Chains A and B, each alone.
Chain A
Amino acid sequence: MAVIEQRSVIGVNRAAHAQGVRMGMSQAGALALLPSLQPLARDLQREADFVRSLGLALGALTPSICLLGEGVLLEVHASLRLFGGVRALLRRATGIARDCGARFSLGVAPTANGAWLLASSAQARRRALQPRTAERLLDRVPLAALPRIVELAPQRAELLQALGCRSVGELRALPRAGLQRRLGRDLLVALDRCYGQAGDPRIWFAAPERFESRLELLHRADDAASLCHALHGLLLQLQGWLTLHWRAAATLRLSLRHEHGRQAQPDTQLLLQLSTPSRDLAQFELLWRERLQRHTLAAPVYEIALSLDASVDHAGTPGELLPTPGQSQRDHAALIDRLVARLGAQRVHRLALVDDHRPEHAQRCLSPGEEDAPDEVPASPLPRPTWLLSEPQPLASDPHLGRPIHAGQTLRLIGRAERIEAGWFDGALVCRDYHLAEGEDHRLRWVFRERGDTGDAWFLHGVFG
């Protein structure tokens, strides 16, 4: 595979490189060398989109981002302490860029232009923190890298090559007035900015107001694992966006686009609601993995799009030496999110009391994110079973004594009956006499008998634990 611009090769992949295709070859020459080569036209729009997504993802490290045509400049001076030094920061930046799918080189210098020039040069050492080190490294940069930092007219570029200088240092040693006359003022200004001898104002990248990002998959995805892998890049961008806007995600939406062919499938929309808004990449990944594993794909996926439906203001998590109760609550919310993502919201319950005498109406199940009312319901003065059967279970009855029989055991009734009679107001009238009953195994049950026309039938309604 090779990328072609104006009939010459400007990029090759590893397989083509192994076959001898090199950058700078003509398209015809490359095709003659390797007939199976797939030429791709350069797509500037997609390049710009990629740089933009990379910039967004790197927004997790610093708010001062500048997008260039083929790269991203980060002003990291203010972030060094937060991320634990320049090494840790560079490790993070490298990780993010690699996870975004970029093949890149990284340069560090006290000036923006200098860093850009070092990153563009093919030198082994491209990182300098002190101005003096930066100057030494920049002096060694070959002149071929200069067009990266300044636009040169063709005849001036030719002149630059004909000067007999090989490195930037040699060029700077020449008389300045002559250089300015022959090569133009722009080149000198760009060089001054590299060395910190001229100001270098930049326009910072402003992240879009709404987060929405899509990714066309290289291969069709049939299973959750490949989707999770593709989703990782989008989640990195989301994390950067959330950091830039000081927000935390509450609801995420993932659209899976299927093939728009003969058997067109509508897009699959998956929603992920977080009980506690979060900005944590690892948590997002875990939740989406569980969510996707639970979902059965209707058709292979060709493109995924992630959008943020709801978010809240979030100033970040302060670093703490000792664990605090708030940390535990966040942990618990993260745990509930994880359980919901795998089991489904209908299987994770919390309970809230309702002031009603009917046992089946005395509580209601809350969905995981729902806020419950405080426990204002007075505790029942009479025994209540630990477990309540969802439906009362009819029990057989002893023909001689009229006692209920459960699981082959005749139950003994303990104590007096508790009459519960309520519900005339909402059509679910209950007239029952409840008893504690003990079986031959001495386990306690809560049984009742309907009062009224239904006869002497016994029902099991609860079990004591």
Chain B
Amino acid sequence: MSFSAHDGPPLPATRRLLQPDEIGRGALWRADRWQRATASPTPVGPTGFAALDAQLPGGGWPLDSLIELLGEPGSGEVALLAPLFRCSSAASQARCDVLWVAPPWCPYGPALQTLGLPLRHFTWIDPACPADAAWSAEQALRSGACAVVLWWSREPVANVTLRRLHLAAQAGGTPLFALRPAATRAQSSPAPLRLLLQSLAGRQMAVEVFKRRGPPMDRPLLLALPDAPPWPAARRHGRTHVSPVLPLSSHVVAGLPSAPSVTAGTSVVEAGL
């Protein structure tokens, strides 16, 4: 390929060759640098973690694209997205509904309430087959009625489907978080942003942004997940790391008989050591 001016009739604007003087003016993006701001910058939403914001192009979750979060269910993905849920369910937002498509198990309302996600604005669906799940996600994205769509996909997904969903996300201006197994990391994907999540000891998680429009990350990011309720270990010992394994006797509540006792009314007894 040469950059010399060609002699034939002018090519249409979308297919013309780059002129040499354009190369230095942001027409090219060098993969070892951050992509520069374009004429219409992608809207972003804060992740709630300053360290993660610094690692994402634009400084947050892109709000109109497909974002892949790879990892086993339970690696901290919901806790990672909780600040975004809280941000989008704020009263000032025109769109505040959150849709979960095909979560691995039934979402638990009290936990969502603790995360700050109002159940009024929460819908989840468990489609019968992966095709229905992808269809539902696409409908939700195209309608533009949701603030965030989460889509769990355990089966392999064709690239065509992912591309379609990415275009739907762009058309509807809604972010789609695809939660897929970590094994899909080696496969190519049209998602502009891909993250690998891994949970670590002490309610921490490692986040590796292995695909982004920017230089590659040299090492994964360590994030401490803020959890709204006081975790027993942290509260008791005032430490951030996990408490040592408790002896078996701790499961028996001190002083209480082990036979089933019918209590008057409901009670939650915290069994202390």
Contact = CB atoms under 8 A, between A and B. Distances in A.
Contact of A402 (B114, B124, B248, B259): B248
Nearest to A423: B266
B3 interface: no
Given A387-B103, A415-B233, A417-B271, A353 B119 contact: yes
B135 interface: yes
Interface string A345-378: 0011111110011010011000000001011010
Nearest to B71: A443
B145 A332 contact: yes
Interface stretch (A178-186, A191-199, A449-457): A449-457
Given A380-B229, A449-B251, A419 B268 contact: yes
B95 interface: yes
Interface in A429-465: 429, 431, 433, 435-436, 438, 441-445, 449, 451-453, 462-465
A343 B136 contact: yes
B118 interface: yes
A385 B108 contact: yes
A216 interface: no
12 contacts: A331-B143, A353-B113, A357-B268, A359-B110, A386-B74, A386-B112, A387-B103, A416-B236, A418-B268, A424-B263, A443-B199, A465-B78
A3 B137 CA distance: 52
B107 A386 contact: yes
B123 A350 contact: yes
Interface stretch (A66-74, A104-112, A333-341): A333-341
A252 interface: no
Given A339-B139, A349-B123, A418 B271 contact: yes
B120 interface: yes
B76 interface: yes
A321 interface: no
Contacts of A424: 262-263
A375 B119 contact: yes
A416 B104 contact: no
Contacts of A86: none
- The prevalent SS among residues of A at the interface is mixed
Contacts of B258: 451-452
A82 interface: no
B268 to A, nearest CB: 6
Contacts of B144: 331
A416 B250 contact: yes
B106 interface: yes
Given A339-B139, A348-B125, A435-B251, A463 B132 contact: no
Given A347-B128, A357-B268, A442-B199, A390 B113 contact: no
A183 to B, nearest CB: 63
Contacts of B236: 415-416
Contacts of B162: none
Interface of A: 323-325, 328, 331-332, 334-336, 338-339, 342-343, 347-353, 356-357, 359, 362-363, 372, 374-375, 377, 379-390, 401-403, 412-424, 429, 431, 433, 435-436, 438, 441-445, 449, 451-453, 462-465
B248 A353 contact: no
B122 interface: yes
Contacts of A334: 143, 145
A57 B119 CA distance: 41
Given A323-B94, A347-B127, A380-B229, A353 B269 contact: no
Nearest to A431: B260
Contacts, number: 240
B187 to A, nearest CB: 22
B95 A352 contact: no
Contacts of A444: 74, 199, 203
Q: Identify which of A348, A374, A389, A417 gathers the most chain B CB atoms within 10 Å of its CB.
A: A417
A331 B145 contact: yes
B75 interface: yes
A362 B119 CA distance: 13
A420 B122 CA distance: 27
B243 A332 contact: no
B123 A465 contact: no
Closest 10 CB pairs of A and B: A415-B232, A465-B78, A363-B109, A331-B145, A422-B266, A387-B105, A419-B269, A417-B271, A452-B260, A332-B145
Contact of B267 (A375, A402, A422, A429): A422
Interface in B177-208: 198-201, 203
Contacts of A389: 105-106
A375 B118 contact: yes
B73 A463 contact: yes
Nearest to A435: B251
Given A385-B108, A422-B266, A335 B232 contact: no
Given A419-B271, A465-B76, 20 more contacts: A332-B95, A343-B128, A351-B112, A352-B109, A352-B119, A375-B119, A382-B232, A384-B108, A386-B78, A386-B107, A386-B115, A387-B105, A387-B108, A388-B108, A389-B105, A414-B233, A415-B231, A419-B269, A443-B74, A465-B77
A325 B94 contact: yes
Contacts of A438: 201, 242
Contact of B140 (A335, A356, A382): A335
A443 B232 contact: no
Contact of B120 (A375, A383, A415): A375
A335 B139 contact: yes
A354 to B, nearest CB: 9
Contact of A343 (B109, B132, B232, B268): B132
